[in-house]
Amino acid sequence: MPDTPASTCRIGVVVEAPQHSGLWGALDYRCAQPLEPGTLVRVPLGKRVVTGVVWSSTGSDDQSDVVDEASLKAVLEVLDGLPPLPDAWRQLVRFAAGYYQRSLGEMALMVLPPELRQLDALQWGRRLKRLNKAVAEPSVPDPSALPELTPQQEAALAQLAEPGDKPFLLWGSTGSGKTEVYLRQAQRALDEGKQVLMMVPEINLTPQLEARVAERFAGRRIVSLHSALTPAQRLRNWLMAHYGHADLILGTRLSVFTPLPRLGLIVVDEEHDPSYKQQDGARYSARDLAVYRARLEKVPVILGSATPSLESWFNAQPESEGGTGRYVRLAMPARVGDGDMPRVRILDLSRAPKQLRGQEPPPVAQELLDAIAQRVEQGEQSLVLLNRRGYAPVLHCSDCGWKSGCPHCSAWRVFHKVDRTLRCHHCGFTERVPRACPDCGNTDIHPVGRGTERLEEQLAEALPQARLGRIDADVTKHKGALEERLANVHAGEVDVLVGTQMVAKGHDFRRITLVAAVNPDSALFASDFRAAERQFALLLQAAGRAGRDADVAGHSEMWVQTWHPMHALYQALRRYDYADFAAQQLKEREMAGLPPYASLAMLRAEGKTQQAAQDFLHAAVQAVQHLADDIGGITLYPPVPTPVQRVANVERAQLMIESPMRPALQRFLGQCQHVWLDLAKQNRRSGLIRWAVDVDPLSI
């Protein structure tokens, strides 16, 4: 493009820039001709050439400094052939950037495929030719026999067909047929020539949903979007969606930003799952953005879960019952077919035989062990849940008290017996297990506690006739490993499956008749106010893995080993009474002034020392206290270290900001950003590394 000021126009372009740069909006460039907003361009930024998105055809919104267009830098290249990102996409990005307190350019570029951000015009032209060759005409789908709907599925679909603009909360027990409702509603959208976005919380749930969707919609173009794809695959699938070639898009949280020219339906499966919340960078909630996008583009959105988040449940409660009435609740309490939910048995560990002094208690009580052995004899499968990987959480020297702490984090290194290593699950620092205690030389160092690796070993000793299998992050880190282990379970080659939360949700194990949670008490008294909510969801989801086949449903069981059998959480689980559990939790939240009755944000800081991090937070409070007083209703709590204070030699601290009114909190945070940016620049030499605002945090 000629670099000449003759007959040029001024356009606003957003580019990716770090938070501390202070660049929150668009930059002005000149171009030979007007460009439509949403067009991707290559522009100079300092000494680099970067990809940007045209945000305005008339320059940036900030016209306080009048600049001669001739002095502006010129757009270098335009990615011709790529349809401009639609107006609805830009509105979604603008809302997300404003709500989650990130720069417009950071949010806009972050949600684009990484390879797209790196292509110049020549490379893009080659990629476009490949895409056009790869797009084949879709075949006409053959009509296939559909499963018969249950009365509650028919009722849900009837409500989904009614006109309205409220989100739908599909509250259905595990095995109630929520996926069939998704597919039937998706068929309605496809028949109208629309696209469907179906979101799942984790990558390991995408392939099985993709297989089921592909079977149902044979002949339709189906693409997936998640981090396990190669950059080339991700770009190809994103382009298929953006061009409108793809009919169904299956993806994890980032897929909520996929531009879809004919969007007709959004589905958020397992909407309660914390994986929908980004935990670094732009800390957005994909579930909440899906609801906003559906309202923006005037399409229905279905949030599905057996254990909805308390925020969604609160929004689906009528105002007469203390909720907001913003969502329409669709209830599906019964399982498909003749199957019932497993009977829940609470095993009181306090009544078990006492161990000899100094002996570690067995991982599984004898009564539960006998029940598992009986299932093995009957040719049935059992699932034993322990949400902690590794062999043991810590190694310990009984002579001097040494423990396997991480030198870089305020956490223990986990003992992994399979490769004889001590591994920090926070920073990744790994060492071989020492032959003797590093402090006193004692050779008798032993594991304390247990993870899935040790539980599998101990169960193998107690049940020599059983075939053991394990599924956790350690054994499924290689490509194809998860699919291989799941296939072994489905083929009946595993009698007892040991696993973490990875196997507790979404999987359709037809032969499992017993599920056991062996150490669920740790979440009952955690400092995190969401711990009980998450634990109830995990246990109920785990229970749903048993008895999914009607032939074995009648005698399926969920066992819970606990020292607190009368805890309200376990009593609600025994009755499968989520409504009662949610009512108890909401009452506690209301008394404590916690979400959904208040809005929270966390200001987090990282420094070379804990003092540096907390000094910044103290100064941040003092600098904006007058703003909080002017707005009213804003509470700034004192800075404290994070639960894991040090990670990879970086000290972390945080302070909580609370307001009963969400608009007030947003107004306050928006006014604080530039104050904190200036403050951070002043604190760089004092040891501050980075800072960030987390709106609607999942943990405090």
What per-residue string of b and e applies to 435-465 under the rule 16 or more CB within 10 Å gives b? eebeeeeeeebebbbbbbbbbbbbbeebbee
Q: What average pLDDT does the chain have?
A: 89
Nearest residue to 166 via CA among 332, 324, 333: 324
Concatenating the DSSP letter of every residue in 360-374 gives: PPPSS-HHHHHHHHH
Note if the bond before 596 is cis, omega within 30 degrees.
Answer: yes
Paired sense of beta strands 168-172 and 328-332, if any: parallel
pLDDT band at 5 (very low <50, low <70, confident <90, very high): very low
pLDDT band at 483 (very low <50, low <70, confident <90, very high): confident
Domains of the chain: 9-134 (3.40.1440.60), 151-332 (3.40.50.300), 343-390+451-591 (3.40.50.300), 392-449 (no CATH), 599-695 (3.30.70.360)
Q: What are phi and psi of 619, to 5 degrees?
A: -65, -35
Q: What is the pLDDT of residue 210?
A: 83
Please give the structure tokens belonging to residue 191. 């028949």
Q: Environment class of residue 77 by beta-carbon count within 10 Å: exposed (0-12), middle (13-18) or buried (19+)? A: middle
- How large a percentage of the chain has pLDDT more than 70? 92
Predicted confidence (pLDDT) per residue in 496-527, tens digit: 999 998 888 777 787 899 999 998 998 888 87
Please give the structure tokens belonging to residue 71. 């002095």
Q: Would you give the distance in Å from CA 619 to the centre of its chain?
A: 32
Residue 214 scores a pLDDT above 70: yes
Mean pLDDT of 472-501: 90
Instruction: Yes or no: say if 257 and 286 are a contact pair by the CB < 8 Å rule.
Output: no
Owner of token pair 């950003």: 673
Q: CA 527, CA 228: separation in Å to the nearest integer?
A: 33
pLDDT band at 426 (very low <50, low <70, confident <90, very high): very high
Q: Environment class of residue 7 by beta-carbon count within 10 Å: exposed (0-12), middle (13-18) or buried (19+)? A: exposed
Q: Output the furthest CA–CA distance in the chain (Å, rounded).
A: 91
Predicted confidence (pLDDT) per residue in 267-306, tens digit: 999 999 999 999 888 999 999 999 999 999 999 999 999 9
Nearest residue to 169 via CA among 305, 310, 323, 264: 305
Q: CA 286, CA 302: separation in Å to the nearest integer?
A: 13
Concatenating the DSSP letter of every residue in 520-533 gives: -GGGTT-SSTTHHH
Angle between helices 610-631 and 662-683 (to 10 degrees): 140
Q: Give the DSSP letter of residue 59.
A: -
Mean pLDDT of 556-569: 94
Q: What are phi and psi of 690, to 5 degrees?
A: -160, 165
Q: What are phi and psi of 516, to 5 degrees?
A: -130, 130
Q: What is the pLDDT of residue 4?
A: 44
Total residue length of the chain? 700
Q: What is the pLDDT of residue 544?
A: 86
Q: What is the pLDDT of residue 528?
A: 86
Cα distance from N-terminal residue to C-terminal residue, the chain: 51
Q: What residues contact residue 627 under an 8 Å CB cut-off, 6+ apart? A: 634, 668, 671, 672, 675
Angle between helices 578-592 and 568-575 (to 10 degrees): 150
Q: What is the pLDDT of residue 553?
A: 53
Instruction: Yes or no: say if 301 and 169 are a contact pair by the CB < 8 Å rule.
Output: no
> Looking at per-residue confidence, does 354 or 244 come out higher?
244
Strands (DSSP E) contained in 511-619 are 512-517, 557-562, 599-607
Q: What residues contact residue 394 under an 8 Å CB cut-off, 6+ apart? A: 403, 404, 412, 413, 414, 415, 447, 448, 449
Nearest residue to 428 via CA among 642, 604, 610, 649: 649
Listed range (115-119, 339-343, 357-361, 527-531) with the worst mean pLDDT: 357-361
Q: What are phi and psi of 343, to 5 degrees?
A: -70, 130
Integer Rg of the chain from CA = 27
Mean pLDDT of 606-620: 95
pTM metric for this prediction: 0.92
Residue 44 scores a pLDDT above 90: yes
* HSE-CB for 93 with a 13 A CA cutoff: 27
Q: What is the pLDDT of residue 582?
A: 96
Mean pLDDT of 75-91: 93
| Identity of the amino acid at 28 | D
Nearest residue to 669 via CA among 599, 592, 614: 599
Mean pLDDT of 382-409: 93
The 3-class SS string of 184-241 reads HHHHHHHHCCCEEEEECCCHHHHHHHHHHHHHHCCCCCEEEECCCCCHHHHHHHHHHH
Q: CA 69, CA 325: separation in Å to the nearest integer?
A: 52
Q: What is the pLDDT of residue 2?
A: 43
pLDDT band at 61 (very low <50, low <70, confident <90, very high): low
pLDDT band at 583 (very low <50, low <70, confident <90, very high): very high
Predicted confidence (pLDDT) per residue in 392-405, tens digit: 999 999 899 999 99
Q: Environment class of residue 501 by beta-carbon count within 10 Å: exposed (0-12), middle (13-18) or buried (19+)? A: middle
Residue 354 scores a pLDDT above 70: no
Instruction: Yes or no: say if 602 and 694 are a contact pair by the CB < 8 Å rule.
Output: yes
C-beta neighbour count of 353 within 10 angstroms: 9
Q: CA 102, CA 122: separation in Å to the nearest integer?
A: 31
Predicted confidence (pLDDT) per residue in 127-144, tens digit: 887 777 666 555 555 556
Residue 192 scores a pLDDT above 50: yes
Please give the structure tokens belonging to residue 651. 């000290």
H-helix segments, 360-438: 366-377
